[in-house]
Every structure is written in C-alpha cells, then in structure tokens.
C-alpha cells in the first residue's frame, strides 16, 4: 500500500529562474543538481518529501517532449511519486485494478 508521497516532479521552461524561485520559497538550497539525457534537474529535499524541477536541455526526444508538454506555460506538475512498503505487492494490486504498471526490474 501507499505509505506516503515521495516526491513531485515539476516541469519548468527555465531551470535557473525556477531554482531561484523555489530556493526563496523553501528557504533552502537545492540538495542535488544535474544535467543529462535531455534535461536539467534540481532537487529540493524537505522533511517528508522532495520536489524535483526538470527543464528541457538541448535537442533530444526527451527535451522535445518536455517542450511540447510545457507549451507556453512556465511550469506544470508532471508526476506524483508515491512511497510504498512493498513494490511487488503494489505492482500486483495495480495489475488487478487494471492500471497496467510497467514491469518491476
């Protein structure tokens, strides 16, 4: 079963501006940053969850997909990632209720 919210992913068009805004809003520096595979990423770790900002970087399938999702918006919620106590059980439950999750590796 779901035991909590692990993190949210927010797509943004300008990673620098979003990083500065969230740093001010959350009154903390990012815990992690990286760039690769078509995206720039900044992660803010809070007491009970994390916020991951992602922006398109360069020209790739991933970057182009993010740009098309963003359209003319500055940002948008892309994912809610839940914490579970047993990934195998959760996977089977999702299959039973016909949500068809990706295979667990």
- In the chain, where are the structural domains located? 2-96
Residue 63 has pLDDT above 90, yes or no: yes
Residues 6+ apart with CB under 8 A from 25: none
31-49 residue pLDDT tens: 999 999 999 999 999 999 9
d(CA 61, CA 38): 7
- pTM passes above 0.85: no
Q: 2-96 adopts what CATH topology?
A: 2,3-Dihydroxybiphenyl 1,2-Dioxygenase; domain 1 (3.10.180)
What is the arrangement of strands in the sheet containing 39-45, beginning at the earlier edge strand? 32-36, 39-45, 50-56, 2-12, 75-84
Query: Which among 77, 99, 59, 62 is positioned nearest to 18, based on CA atoms?
Result: 77
pLDDT band for position 58 (cuts 50, 70, 90): very high
Residue 55 has pLDDT above 70, yes or no: yes
Higher pLDDT, 94 or 17: 17
75-91 residue pLDDT tens: 899 999 999 999 889 88
Average pLDDT over all residues of the chain: 92
Residue 16 has pLDDT above 90, yes or no: yes
CB 79, CB 89: distance < 8 Å: no
């Amino acid at each position: 079963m779901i035991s909590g919210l692990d993190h949210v992913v927010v797509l943004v068009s300008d990673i620098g501006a979003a990083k500065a805004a969230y740093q001010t809003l959350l009154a903390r520096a990012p815990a992690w940053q990286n760039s690769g595979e078509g995206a720039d990423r900044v992660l803010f770790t809070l007491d009970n969850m994390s916020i991951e900002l992602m922006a398109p970087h360069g020209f790739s399938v991933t970057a182009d997909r993010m740009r098309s999702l963003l359209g003319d918006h500055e940002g948008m919620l892309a994912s809610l990632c839940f914490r579970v106590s047993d990934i195998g059980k959760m996977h089977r439950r999702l299959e039973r209720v016909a949500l068809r999750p990706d295979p667990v590796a």
